[in-house]
Structure 1
Amino acid sequence: MATAHARRAETAPILIEDAASALRPVPLVIDLDGTLLRTDLLLEGIIALLRRNPLMLLVMLLWLPRGRAFFKRRIAEGAVLDVATLPANAALLAHIETQKAAGQEIVLATAADELMALRALRRFPVFDRVVASDGVRNLKGETKAAQLRALYPQGFDYAGDAAADLPVWAAARRVIVVGASGPVLRAARRLDKPVDEFPAASRPRALLKALRLHQWAKNALVFVPLVLGGRAGDAQAWGSAGLAFLALGLVASASYLLNDLLDLSHDRAHWSKRERPLASGRLPIATGLAAIVLGLAGGLAVAAWAGAAVLTGVIAYLALTLTYSAWLKRVPMLDALTLGSLFSLRIAVGVAAVAVAWSPWLLTFSMFLFTSLSFAKRHTELRGAARRGQPGTIAGRGYEPADEPVVLAFGIASGLASVVIFILYLANEAFRHAALAAPLALWSFPLILVLFMGRVWLLAGRDALHDDPVAFAVRDRPSLVLAGVAGLAFAVAAFGLPPGLLPQGFGL
């Protein structure tokens, strides 16, 4: 229920025509985008059209000169949206239903196109009337205020969320502010009218979650070639690798946001992904788009600063990520292999950053290791779908519940293959690097890998693994302990043990 902040009672009396109208409450008018729905139908429609055919962007550019109302109508005609899964403001909807039961007329007044509004009406039959843009007139701001004054001269209550709603609130009897920003809320309060507030979740917090900063842990792979290539004592090499790490992190976070935008409809149909910031509406689509642009621009700029080779590697990473988001993630088996390849690309960027020799063994090892983790993610999704009795293909993916045994077999096989490849790397290449102080310490890695992969797949079989194994690993205490031991072994391999720590005559 709303938290009421009544500034003061009205000072001007409401004119009434007769005693019957005096007893009738004024209409409750509700905005749609960002108010009843925690999303923007125009942006949803644009994304739906671009997901179906990216070349529609050129057609949209031809629609824009004909006006915003025309543009909205064409988007509404072409976009296919599952209105039933769009995120709604449950608290506001409960308030609306209460007012409806009390006899108040409920009106939907939106700048969205009428076709979109009528689709929403089928989901929310509580409305008595719809007023919307019609392909000629864009019902927003002053235009909406004038229309509502003409329809309801006796007054109305209005629920909105944005600065464009300020003229409508100025014309309304009561102001209902839903999920607005601080400046908009303060401007609404200055209207000196009764104000009800429905606060929104923290957008900065939602943005941080959507950026998935914990996934930056994957980018630590750029430092692996630095250590194994014998440049662990080179401060300049660490600086170059650090720039590569930052560039990949910015580009990866922007890519996650873009993937979430393209996957909105599938995420909303998923049991856990529907709580993602963009899918749940806690992060506005416009904010997500701005973060994508800034992330890509910043990441590519940092990569260019790190050098042409790093920039080439980051662009290759971005291209493969976009291809995965647009197509490859829907191709069974190839999707997991692509994710594994993205990890190998991180190591390749690290090689380019610090200018050491390429290691085919190391690149192949990383691809198989992370392909196994990708299969673990798919295995978890398939187990979850089977547990919930979902038939058919998994939403947004090419897998069916019957594929679970095959995914399990390929996942475990890929994990064991990565261990074998790492052993071959130790036997054929690692000890040729004279710059490594104590290469024998690297022999602890096969055991660490077996323990880690065993834990991942054991928990996957128990349905105790999160959808994302990396997110699981950074929160799982045994996995963190194994990571600490691996880091210690890595440090010993690069720098050796302090003098005097081992008995004389004994060395690694």
Structure 2
Amino acid sequence: MGFASVRRAELPTPTPVCAPSPRPVPLVIDLDGTLLRTDLLLEGAVSILRRNLFMVFAMLLWLPRGRAYFKRKVAERATLDIATMPSHAELLAHIEAERATGREIVLATAADALMALKVMQAFPVFDRVVASDGIRNLKGEAKALQLAALYPQGFDYAGNAAADLPVWVRARAVIAVEAPTRVTLAARALGKPMQEFPAASRARALVKGLRLHQWAKNGLVFLPLVLGGRAGDPAAWGLALAAFLALGLVASASYLLNDLLDLPHDRAHWSKRERPLASGRLPLATGIAALILGLAGGLAVAFAAGAAVLAGVLAYLALTLTYSAWLKRVPMLDALTLGSLFTLRIAVGVAAIAVAWSPWLLTFSMFLFTSLSFAKRHTELRGAAKRGRFGKLSGRGYQSADEPVVLAFGIAAGLASIVIFILYLANEAFRHAALAAPLALWMFPMVLVLFMGRVWLLAGRDELHDDPVAFAVKDRPSLALAGIAGLAFGIAAFGLPQGLLPAWGL
């Protein structure tokens, strides 16, 4: 046949008393990027690699045999939950309204028929599916010819990409669904009746997916500048800035990778389903491209900053990948790993400017950020219980019964971090002759007590965002505390003007 075409079984209907009026022309709907805000081929490939990374070699062998063959092989092995995938609600409402008038609704897609039939089962609005069959790739001109042959009386077509332009040429009316500007302009130029479903900003979705606010964590690379007594060295600032940029690019890429690996779990989560990739606002292809560019750019900057920085960034990347692939599903160890990733940022800062290592500082960082990681898990457990989802937390190794243990370990780790910083002040900070006013650092433990207290207080009230760092950069009291801490570090590094508070030795 050259393509797959399947009609939905229809119940027998009574013979009408009078001759029926002519049926309206069929409404034909594209799948990827139109009905669904995602790409089933990429979704399938990611699901296969999620289970077995070595399947990438099998995929490389499938590709030379053609796109249709490749799609069939992916469809045979992919495990996809169509029901949780993001769909276009406004388009679906339009389809249902048109179906109520008696129009035939057709799903025509370049996706493999095995996947298309699953979509047909999940969305009962379709009367027929026309799809690729493992031999012929039903895309662009091929799809246009098949639809013209099936419906010589005409059809209306909803699509979203440049490959849909040949179909629109043969269609009676154009429906552009979240199409890029250049595609929309080309469709308008056809001079046919046209309906548009505009897209939200993909650039904004990409920025959100990169989680640039998380770059605030990379500010830890500047901490050794102050505590190591090199805050007045412009060259040291340049090296620290390069380390900051390298970590930021690699971290953003790793967030995208984590979201790709976590797609099924994120879509089942009450808040994570709104993430750009999970919600479909950021196309998978765009996310994968940004991931590759971010990794390449971050490693290039790290290489330029020196071998020590490159080694630190590679260690950070390796631990991040291990966390995404395995450790995030191991209770307790997941929080410890996140604390280690924060501490690695300080280690990269130390390596960048070549100051002495401080075991006190690194241990303090480990306990502080492990506490914040437990706060994140505690919030997720509380949120799941609040929504009636008891048992195992999706994508994690925790169960609802673990909440008291997570709470206890989180608060204990936070208190330990405060004690360790005080011990650092008492045993090491005042030995740095390069610090202009080390006494100012005593302000930091008080700020830390107030911040940790606020985090855990709000966590108990269910008022904490999933991510304490994302919460802190938007929370005014937390920002005020950060300002006080920054002022204390500034005074410690540079001192106060001469004659100001001389009795305090500042």
TM-score, length basis structure 2 = 0.96
Aligned to 2:162: 163
C-alpha displacement at 1:500, in angstroms? 2.1
1:190 counterpart = 2:189:
yes
SS of residue in 1 equivalent to 2:130: strand
In structure 2, do the counterparts of structure 1 residues 127 and 275 end up closer, same or farther at CA, with 3 Å as the change threshold? Answer: same
Within 1, Cα distance between the matches of 2:422 and 2:390? 42
Q: How does 1:89-488 map to 2 (within 5 A)?
A: 89-488=88-487
SS of residue in 1 equivalent to 2:434: coil
Within 2, Cα distance between the matches of 1:33 and 1:22? 34
Q: Deviations over 1:433-478 (max 9, x none)?
A: 1000011111111111111100000000000100000000011111
Task: Percent identity, please.
Answer: 80
Aligned to 1:70: 69
Aligned to 1:507: 505
Aligned to 2:9: none
Q: Which amino acid aligns with 1:507?
A: G
C-alpha displacement at 1:334, in angstroms? 0.4
Structure 2: gaps of 5 or more residues: 1-17
Within 1, Cα distance between the matches of 2:50 and 2:39? 16
SS of residue in 1 equivalent to 2:269: coil
Within 1, Cα distance between the matches of 2:137 and 2:390? 43
Q: Deviations over 1:97-148 (max 9, x none)?
A: 0000011110000000001001011111110100000111110000000000
SS of residue in 1 equivalent to 2:131: strand
C-alpha displacement at 1:391, in angstroms? 2.4
Q: Deviations over 1:357-414 (max 9, x none)?
A: 0111101100110000000000000001111111221111000000000000000000
Within 2, Cα distance between the matches of 1:248 and 1:204? 22
Q: Which amino acid aligns with 2:295?
A: L
Within 2, Cα distance between the matches of 1:175 and 1:500? 76
Aligned to 1:11: none
User: For this pair of structures, how many residues does the alignment match?
Assistant: 489
In structure 2, do the counterparts of structure 1 residues 506 and 67 end up closer, same or farther at CA, with 3 Å as the change threshold? Answer: closer
C-alpha displacement at 1:21, in angstroms? 8.9
TM-score, length basis structure 1 = 0.95
Aligned to 1:50: 49
**Once superposed, what is the RMSD of the aligned Cα atoms?**
1.1
Q: Which amino acid aligns with 1:185?
A: T
C-alpha displacement at 1:20, in angstroms? 7.3
SS of residue in 1 equivalent to 2:186: helix
Runs of 4+ in 1 over 2 A off after TM superposition: 19-23
Aligned to 2:6: none
Q: Which amino acid aligns with 1:301?
A: A
Q: Deviations over 1:11-52 (max 9, x none)?
A: xxxxxxxx9797321000000000000000000000000000
Aligned to 2:37: 38
Within 1, Cα distance between the matches of 2:504 and 2:239? 36
C-alpha displacement at 1:310, in angstroms? 0.5
Aligned to 2:4: none
Within 2, Cα distance between the matches of 1:255 and 1:375? 21
Within 2, Cα distance between the matches of 1:152 and 1:352? 68
Within 2, Cα distance between the matches of 1:220 and 1:467? 21
Q: Deviations over 1:216-270 (max 9, x none)?
A: 0000000000110000000010011001101111110111011001100000000
C-alpha displacement at 1:506, in angstroms? 4.3
Within 2, Cα distance between the matches of 1:363 and 1:81? 42
Within 2, Cα distance between the matches of 1:289 and 1:22? 50
